[in-house]
Every structure is written in structure tokens, then in C-alpha cells.
Amino acid sequence: MDPELTELTGRLTALLRARSGDPQARASGVEPLPGHAGVSYRFVHEGRDGALPLVLRLAPAGVPAVGPNDVVRQARIMAALGGTATPSGVAVPPIHWYGDDPQWFGRPFFVAGFVAGDKPALGQRRFDIDEMRRCSAAAVATAAALHRLDWRDYRAEFGEPVALATELERLDRLRDRPTLEARLLASAPALRAQLVASMPARVRVGCVHGDFQWSNCLFRDGRLTALIDWELAQTGPVLLDLGWFCMFSDRESWVTDDLMPSWCPPPDELVDEYERALGESFERREVRWFRAFAGYRFGVITAFNLMLHRRGKRPDPMWETIALSGPRLFERGLELLG
């Protein structure tokens, strides 16, 4: 076995014995999970109650555990939502343990139940058109269930509401770096100016996932078994999630199909389905604003992550492919607002 996995197996075994109270418990089958949002491993908890598949999520090494790297905050959010059999209507992996005590892994962590499911994007199993429509309805229903929650009951986990102006300021701090590729951001200033000029004055506020897209939804037999990767969760305008989901379902936003599933319903259908599930309607002009903002936001994030990849700070070749659509994301945003 790889020496790193051997050491991690030993650390996991020590954690399992301490937290479960079973002196014979042990971890086995430790293997890294694919993904781009963090450091995750699948393993099996062998103990007196049998074999239980689990997932370990670690904060990135050598990086402050704040913002998207705060895995303990993510665990608290999922624990508050209640797991896969939750009255909130938002299926998430069940959380077993979490903490920031360095004695276990030298950095913050959480351990969650492994939830089986397929993703219709990122080159995984191809869904047929009927299954895709069932999955789409399930995803939209989950978003609506999340947005129906009273955010005040979850403010300890999701935080206080974040204003749209603050969102733009966050993106400014990413965009205004000389190490970013200027070609990707050529249309960004024009789109930002239009977003500021047409920013909605009043928005519906609620609990927001922040990265609501196909690759963060696990499906089985047309059901959404778990919504994962909560590192961008916050309290804010609920249409942030809808605009983001529409962007990842809009063929006009991309020059490649890597992030979009086959037979994906078009954005207008997703908006109609969302309004039915939420029991509330929105002006299409407002929805288009959030779709345009999603393109701006992901365009900036793409340029930033491409820089990190090329400078060797966070290697991930996926961003080379996504960056092909970088300029198009800003152009599409201008079209939606125009």
C-alpha cells in the first residue's frame, strides 16, 4: 500500500476506536475519491456492527481552514439539515464526526456516510432522456426545499445574509490580480458594469447551497440521494442557486459539453419547474440577472483557478478545459442582460 494511505489508515483506525468506543474497530479499503473541491477518501469502518462505508473529508494542507476550506462548517451545515432521511427535504450525507483537533489528521476534518449515486455530468454514466427529466425534477425540488427553509433557524450554520454588492466585492478581489490571464477576462468589466446598473433592489433571501450544479447532485433511479459539496453555502438571494443551475444547463454558455449532461432540460424549463416546486414566481428579468451573474461569477472563478493550476499552487487540468469557455461565459451574461 502507498505509505501515505497506510498512515491515513492508521489514523482513521485510531479515530474510529476513540469515537465509536469499539476497541476492535478498524479502517480498511482507504482510497482517494475524485473531485475538485477538496481532499476526500472513501473507506470502510469495520466493527462490531458490521462494515459501514464512510467518507473522510480533509481541509487542504497548508491553507487556512476558512471560507471554502472550512470543512467543519460544511459538516455543521449538513448535520443541521439532517442527513438523507431529513424532514427538511434536503438530502445530504449523514455526518458522523467532525472537528479541528490536529491529533487525528493534523488539520480539520469530517467523516460522513457514503451515499451511493451517479452524476449525469463530468463523464460519468450517460442518463437517457426520461431518467434525466426525473433527475432534473428531483434536483429542482431539492433546491426549492432548501430555499423554503426559514434561514433564521439555520443562521448559526449558514451565517448572516450576504448582500449582492458584497458578492461582487468578493469577485473583485479575485479578478483584480495581475497573474490572471487577461484574455479570459476581456468582457468581464462590461458585464460587471451592466450587473451593477441593473442589480435587483429586493430579493428573496434564504439558505443557499452556492454551487448548485449537476456534478454536486447524486442520483439513483431518478431520485436525488444526496446534495454534496457545501463549501460555498451561505444565507443570500435564493436565485443565486437557480441562476447557477441554469448556467450549467445552458448550452449557449459553453464551447464544450464537459460540464453539461446529455438531455439536459433548457433553463426556461428549469425555471418553470422551480417556480412550481417553490410555489412562488419571479420576474423573468430578475431570473436573467442571476443567470448573467452566475456567468460572471464562474468566469472569474475559472480565471482564478486556472492561474492556481498553471502556477502549481493547486494543480487541476480540468481548468484548462473549462477555461475554453471562459470568454463565452461573460459574453452570454451580456446577452442575457441585453
Rounded Cα distance, 248 and 232, in Å = 16
Tell me the residue type at 193.
Answer: A
Average pLDDT value for the chain: 93
Strand residues in 191-259 grouped as ranges (E): 205-208, 217-220, 223-227, 234-237
Asked, colleague to colleague, whether 3-113 and 129-337 share their fold, the answer is: no
pLDDT band at 124 (very low <50, low <70, confident <90, very high): low
pLDDT in tens, 312-331: 988 889 999 999 999 999 99
pLDDT in tens, 198-218: 999 999 999 999 999 999 999
Residue 151's nearest CA partner among 82, 204, 210, 202 is: 204
Among the residue ranges 15-29, 33-47, 48-62, 319-333, the one predicted with the least confidence is 33-47
Rounded Cα distance, 202 and 206, in Å = 13
Q: Determine the CATH number of domain 3-113.
A: 3.30.200.20
Place of cell 417553490: 278
For the question of whether the overall pTM of this predicted structure is more than 0.75, the answer is: yes
Rounded Cα distance, 118 and 123, in Å = 11
Tell me the residue type at 142.
Answer: T
Q: Is 222 exposed, middle or buried (0-12, 13-18, 19+ CB in 10 A)?
A: middle
Q: Is it the case that residue 222 has pLDDT exceeding 80?
A: yes
Rounded Cα distance, 163 and 170, in Å = 11
pLDDT band at 310 (very low <50, low <70, confident <90, very high): very high
pLDDT in tens, 162-189: 999 999 999 999 999 999 999 999 999 9
pLDDT in tens, 236-280: 999 999 999 999 999 999 998 777 888 889 999 999 999 999 999
pLDDT in tens, 95-120: 999 999 999 999 999 999 999 999 88
Three-class SS state of 105 = helix
Q: How much is the average pLDDT of 221-234? A: 95
pLDDT band at 38 (very low <50, low <70, confident <90, very high): low
Q: Is it the case that residue 36 has pLDDT exceeding 60?
A: no
Q: What does the block give as the cell for 153?
A: 433557524
Q: Determine the CATH number of domain 129-337.
A: 3.90.1200.10
Instruction: Give 149-201 as a DSSP string.
Output: S-GGGGHHHH-SB--HHHHHHHHHHHHS-TTS-GGGGTTHHHHHHHHHHT--S
Three-class SS state of 54 = strand
Rounded Cα distance, 262 and 70, in Å = 33
Q: Where are the domains of the chain?
A: 3-113, 129-337
